[in-house]
Amino acid sequence: MKKLLLLTLIAMTTVSCEEKNPLLKEWDTPFGVPPFEEIKTEHYMPALKKAIAVQEKEIDQIVNCKEEPTFENTIAALDRSGRLLGKVMMVFGNNESIASTEEIRRLSTEMSPIVSNHSSNIMLNEKLFARIKAVYDKREELGLEPDQMRLTCETYKSFERNGSNLDAEGKAALREVNTKIDSLQTLFSQNLLNETAAWTLLIDNEEDLEGLSEDFIADAAARAAAAGSEGKWLVGLDNPSVMPFLQSSANRELRVKVLDAYSNRCNNNNECDNKDIVSEIIALKLKKAQIMGYETYADYALERKMAGNAESVYKLLDEVWQPSLAAARRELADIKQMAKEDGITTILPADWRYYAEKARQAKYSFDESAVMEYLQYDNVRDGIFYVANKLFGVTFTKLNDFPLPHPEAEAYECGLPSGATRGILYIDMFARPGQKSGGAWCTSYREHEVDAEGRNVPAVMSIVGNFTRPSENKPSLLTVDETETFFHEFGHAIAGLLSDVRYESLGNFVRDFVELPSQLNEHWAFEPEVLNVYAKHYITGEVIPMELVDKIKECKNYGVGFAETELVAAMYLDMDMYSMKEIPEHFDVLAYEAKCMESRGLIPEILPRYRVPYFLHIFSHGYDVGYYSYLWANVFECDAYEAFKETGDIFNPEVAKAYREQILARVNEDDAKVLYTNFRGFMPTAEPFLKSRGLK
């Protein structure tokens, strides 16, 4: 009796805890967004365990179904499973990126192997795979609709590529490798976040501020005051701080000091050093590929991407590398001439941005600070909304008193011409060093989905950045590059909002096609028609003068040599490391990096955009053997924009409709090459891209 009473109390307590856990409840918030203010750190682990248990039950129901395997009771049922787990992990993962704490990072380390093991349990479930294979084998006889056929094939191939056809020994080895990789990738990311936040340069001599803009100095003063050093100036390693400093600071000694700290992050033989972690990740991924029967990890990773194989990737990189390097050498000649006036004869990497900006100003009389006065953050955002409205007829309405993932975020309702809600967009674009990951990205809290009753469920998208925040006396003013970044990330968001697939597993572009919507959206940023709408002086409201617009266009490609060279150098690094057939004992990743760059002829004045110890994209963010995707997408977006330009109307409604219906709405309902050909009529070459950059 006592035992029964105890078990009853335990069950009641468990139910009570679950009812109080906001991650496990049905969200009665507007549009079903997460109830962010209710969610505490202690809620995540119990929610994770419960969500895994729920999906395990869902999988058991599929596996133990007495009926013959069909698309609906196996493939579609699997696609519908794990909704609760996805909900929990979306909230946790996004919170980790925008509001990281030591407790969150510790929890991430604990959760990673649990999630990895659960994923392996599904992918290596023999009975589940047997049912999937049964449907796959008779797929031609089932009268499936095209998206159902695609989902069936993609599900089977996904299981196959994740070890379902391996013997027991192979499955055990693969499970162990996957768990180790996931844990190491989490540690890599946390080390970079900690190392980036830990280093600062405190300036206490006003003379050391020479060359820096008033806005930068004000931000540096605010950072110093927040750190308890009132009356001084603080420079950090986050991009809104480090890049303007390298471009504008007249103090060469400090530029060298800052770039040295930036380029040696996680390479300081301390607790945040990533070199051994990188070496182990590369070795583990090679082992994974070999377990799966591939010679290299690149072979394994590229098989299901648009490029298909390493040869196609290297062909594109080589096609862009030589003209980019030649352009960089021409830019170097200008830089040397400018530096010579300061008595400098040997150019260091820390000199490049500073003297390149001086050379650009000398050649084109271009003053970016003057342009920035017309690029007020709020206006740029509204200009982005204007473009989306002109292209797709959608509107964005700000939502007040609405649940927010962070107090600094904004929420907007995306509406259709019919008045229906298409989705919710969060925007969180200002830097929070030490809390927020670096760079800019687009993510989601809920992808577009179709529920069990066949109703569309609005997507909940979020774009995140690290722009300089407004000061007491001035709003946030964006650089040309930041403006393009804003348009870029919104391009991802609008793709998520306009996705119209009915099966969640088909709701993501393949990796080397995913950057098409974002990079295409950049094209509208500096079109005169668009600038006339949003580029207004932050004080006078005057529309940007045409002479400034002409200056932007005139010098648009100045510096493309540096930009493409540092970018492609990082792409070579990614491809070369993951194309290795064996990993030497005591693998020295920095020596390998140096050899890779030397063999390609990278000039010593330029560093790769990402050095190995802080190459987050390929060691934590899923772009392994995929960083080339940005360049791959460049080829497609330049050609796609030509489809608009050829009509003489950059907002041509017929082209916009075809782009939306054939690409954005369908996402992964067909092979990416088929989707693009349906839109354009042919596959593009690199020619339009090279011409657009002035490299041809």
| Residues paired with 444 in a beta bridge | 461
Amino acid, single-letter form, for residue 442: C
The CA distance from 389 to 412, in Å, is 14
Query: Among residues 489, 522, 593, 669, which one is catalytic?
Result: 489
Contact 442/474 with Cβ under 8 angstroms? Answer: no
Cβ burial 610-619 (10 Å sphere, 16+ → b, else e):
bbbbbbbbbb
- Crossing angle of helices 349-364 and 310-340, rounded to 10°: 70
User: Nearest to residue 583, comparing CAs of 290, 280, 283, 278?
Assistant: 283
Q: Hunting for tokens 């190392």 — which residue is that? A: 195
Number of H helices, E strands in the chain: 28, 9
3 state DSSP class of 441: strand
Task: Write out the two tokens for 696.
Answer: 């041809």
The CA distance from 472 to 69, in Å, is 64
Pairing of strands 421-430, 459-467: parallel
Cα separation values, 52 from 108, 114, 118, 552, Å: 16, 9, 7, 52
**Contacts of residue 154, Cβ cutoff 8 Å, sequence gap at least 6:** 505, 506, 668
Contact 385/491 with Cβ under 8 angstroms? Answer: no
Judged by phi (left if over 0) then psi (alpha if -120 to 50, else beta), residue 451 lies in beta
The CA distance from 290 to 279, in Å, is 17
489 is catalytic: yes
- Crossing angle of helices 126-137 and 146-161, rounded to 10°: 140
Spell out where 314-473 has E strands: 395-398, 410-415, 421-430, 441-446, 449-450, 456-457, 459-467
Going 677 to 681 to 682 to 687, the CA torsion angle's sign is negative
User: Nearest to residue 604, comparing CAs of 258, 338, 329?
Assistant: 329
The CA distance from 550 to 545, in Å, is 9
Judged by phi (left if over 0) then psi (alpha if -120 to 50, else beta), residue 419 lies in left
CA 198 to the chain's CA centroid: 23
Residue 587 host element (H or E): none
What are the residue numbers of the active site? Answer: 489
